[in-house]
Amino acid sequence: MSHPLTNSVHKFYIPVMGTGFTIDTPLKVARYGISSVVSLVDDVLIEQMRKRLSKQGETSYEEIGDNEEDSRARRITSYLNMMDDMIGDQVAKMRTSLFEAGSEITRYYEMLPESPLRAMYQKMQATLDPAERARLQDLLREKVSVGAIDVNIMTKLDRAKLQKGQLLGPQFSDAMSALRGYAQSKVESSVILSAGMNRKLFSYLADFGDFFPNDRGEIRKRIVLKVSDFRSALLQGKLLARQGLWVSEYRVESGLNCGGHAFGGRGTLMGPVLAEFQEKREDLKGTLHEIWIKGMENLGRSIPAERLDIRVTAQGGIGTAEENRLLQERYDVDAMGWGSPFLLVPEVVNIPADHLQKIIDAGEHDVHLSDASPLGVPFWCLKTSASEEQRRERIADGKPGSACPKGFLVSNTEFTKVPICTASRAFQRRALKDLESAELPEFERVEQEYQIQAKACICHDLAGSATVPTGIDPGANTAVCCGPNTVYFGRQARLREMVDHIYGRANLPLNFDRPHMFLKELSLHLDSLRKELDRRGRGLKACNCKQSDEIKENLISGIGHYRDMAGKLVASSRDDFLSRLERLRGELDKLSS
């Protein structure tokens, strides 16, 4: 099979969504050449899914218990290997299927974008000569390319591992164990490192040969960095290159127009960020290549004759074929990540039926940027989810906080020697009691009480999207980390429908007069700035005028960029885009006055 990164047949991928939504998505889309990303945060869920899928596939299963040696890494390795085997079987079966209506191989080719491969398929369909038709069909069977089982590691989720009360070495921390589990698997794909730098984790990559190229320049396991701007890409790329590690892809995510955790930055907008990557891409590659060669030489590794390349991809808020084309044609983006819209495609992701309906029914105010994450990072969530409903009910009953069954986000030692999670009952009970004795103005006391009780048990509840519909844990309170783009897709869709929507062959109906993705992101930055200025105005936070000025300057610069960029839009949407852009500029002017 051709490599899914260097020979990808699709120009979009499905990003990681929570821990449960995409935990087995490769089994549903990889055989069609579509790459997707699995979270490696929750090894408990991973083991539960391995057990379930083993039963479905009638394959042997031997449990890897919590307290077994290196259990987290071994669980991840076993799960990824099992999926790789299952997908291999799916593709082998597909290659033997007939080219007829509804068959798997027909479905594969009908979902492809316009390309030489799709043209070959269309030529085969139009061919009347039986021998030539059979020849083309055999060739098409050979050219089936599998999508990647990519994985995501949040670099800052690196909890130390305790066993029988004893602290294990750093290599057994959560992030490093997850990396080891992936590195020891047989899959050929990419690891997406998100949420910033972890120097120990970055150094640990060099312990595994699969992250280095062979003599032909082929890398079995490629490194992808999720970044918010060019400076971050250059900084992290240099750090890895010095160790002989090549970053194959820089995945630019919108700071605010995304799902899950949102890293808003300082008013940097996606359009200008992508334009900087476009302008400096070759310089980036050249600079890193020189550093990388020295790093390889220091390790005594041979340098491939062919220079390695990089990809630039983008995700966050994409919702129409026009936006998809704009990113590709205006900014030379190699592939686009479509996340939240796929929450309405149960054929692709795990979603309980009642929560699918809640997403369908959601209005623009039902998805909000909350303080639910114990990481202290703004977190997009669905207000009507079972997780949020239970959180509010516990507060109303005078019992805020939740149990902490998994503990992946434990980090706080304000009240205890052993770290606990800020979403837990243990923390919130202590924090609220401490607040009672504090001498604070009433408005500040109310604000701090809200901040304490806003935290939710997301590491357990995000798994509910998979554990509830599969019957693994039917009583779980599902959390939904959908981005604001989700609410514009007002009905359930099939995989084929969504793919046709992405490529402009069909249009799924959109709700609420959906704004362009760039304008939505700009409006979210304005909302964030407005809230920040309001908090400062009420004395809840010391004023940082320099930071506010930087945000405003970046937004003004971004607006100027979008005025120039509007010429690339189709004429039917250009005037509306510019009109909305000027209204948002007016809102920014009011905030600046």
pTM: 0.95
Q: Would you call 512 exposed, middle or buried from its count of C-beta atoms within 10 A (0-12, 13-18, 19+)?
A: exposed
Q: Are residues 468 and 539 in the same domain?
A: no
510 DSSP assignment: B
- Gap between the Cα atoms of 195 and 174, Å rounded: 14
Three-class SS state of 38: strand
| Antiparallel, parallel or unpaired: β 166-167 and 162-163 | antiparallel
Does residue 455 sit in the same domain as residue 529? no
Residue 338 domain-assigned (yes or no): no
Last residue of a domain, one of 433, 453, 479: 479
Q: Are 486 and 403 in contact (CB under 8 A)?
A: no
Question: Distance (Å, rounded) from C-alpha 16 to C-alpha 259?
Answer: 10
Q: What is the pLDDT along the chain (593 residues), one digit of tens a residue?
A: 344 455 689 999 999 999 999 999 999 999 999 999 999 999 999 999 999 999 988 888 999 999 899 999 999 999 999 999 999 999 999 999 999 999 999 999 999 999 999 999 999 999 999 999 999 999 999 999 999 999 999 998 888 887 766 778 889 999 999 999 999 999 999 999 998 889 999 999 999 999 999 989 999 999 999 999 999 999 999 999 999 999 999 999 999 999 999 988 789 999 999 999 999 999 999 999 999 999 999 999 999 998 999 999 999 999 999 999 999 999 999 999 999 999 999 999 999 999 999 999 999 999 999 999 999 999 999 999 999 999 999 999 999 999 999 989 998 999 998 889 999 999 999 999 999 999 899 989 999 999 999 999 999 999 999 999 999 999 999 999 999 999 999 899 999 999 999 999 999 999 888 999 999 999 999 999 998 888 776 665 555 566 788 899 999 999 999 999 998 888 888 999 999 999 999 999 998 77
Q: Identify which of 86, 77, 29, 38 has the alpha carbon closest to the alpha carbon of residue 59.
A: 86
Do 533 and 464 lie in a common domain?
Answer: no
pLDDT of residue 1: 38
Beta bridge partners of 150: 37
User: Of the residues 463, 479, 495, which one is the last residue of a structural domain?
Assistant: 479
Are 520 and 473 within one domain? no
Domain membership flag for residue 84? no
Residue 96 lies in a domain: no
Sequence-distant contacts of 174-179: CB under 8 A, at least 24 apart: 174/41, 174/72, 174/408, 175/201, 176/200, 176/201, 176/204, 177/43, 177/70, 177/72, 177/73, 177/76, 178/40, 178/41, 178/43, 178/72, 178/73, 178/76, 178/151, 178/153, 179/153, 179/204, 179/205
Sign for the pseudo-dihedral over CA of 68, 74, 75, 76: positive
454 and 520 part of one domain:
no
Query: How far apart are alpha carbons 29 and 34 in whole angstroms?
Result: 6
Residue with tokens 């299963």: 61
Which amino acid makes up residue 347? Answer: E
Residue 110, domain member (yes or no):
no
Tell me, rounded to whole angstroms, the distance of Cα 191 from its chain centroid. 12
In a domain, 353, yes or no: no
474 and 552 share a domain?
Answer: no
Torsion, Cα 163 166 169 172, to 10 degrees, reads: 20
CB atoms within 10 A of CB 487: 23
Q: Which residue has the tokens 């304008």?
A: 519
Q: Closest by alpha carbon to 147, among 174, 187, 177?
A: 187
pLDDT of residue 314: 98
527 domain-assigned = yes
In this predicted structure, what is the pLDDT of residue 72?
97
Burial of residue 128 (number of CB atoms within 10 Å: 0-12, 13-18, 19+) = exposed
Residue among 13, 5, 87 nearest 342 (CA): 13
536 falls within a domain: yes
**Spatial CA neighbour of 23 closest among 48, 56, 6:** 48
Q: Are residues 464 and 408 in the same domain?
A: yes
- Alpha-carbon distances, residue 518 vs 234, 326, 526 (angstroms): 24, 11, 13
For the chain, the first-to-last Cα distance in angstroms comes to 60
CB 213 within 8 A of CB 202: no
Task: Give the C-alpha separation, 396 to 7, whole Å.
Answer: 54
User: Is 466 found in the same domain as 414?
Assistant: yes
Whether 390 and 468 map to the same domain: the answer is yes
Q: What is the C-alpha to C-alpha distance for residues 323 and 326, in angstroms, rounded to an integer? A: 5
Q: Does 409 fall in a domain?
A: yes
Helix axes 270-298, 230-241, angle to 10 degrees: 10
Give the tokens for residue 359: 């997403």
Q: Are 247 and 292 in contact (CB under 8 A)?
A: no
Range of the domain at 465: 386-479
User: Is residue 456 domain-shared with residue 521, that is, in the same domain?
Assistant: no
391 shares a domain with 458: yes
CA–CA distance, 374 with 383 (Å, rounded to integer): 17
Question: What is the residue-wise DSSP string for 289-332?
Answer: HHHHHHHHHHTTPPPPSSPP--EEEEESS--SHHHHHHHHHHH-
Task: Indicate the number of domains in the chain.
Answer: 2
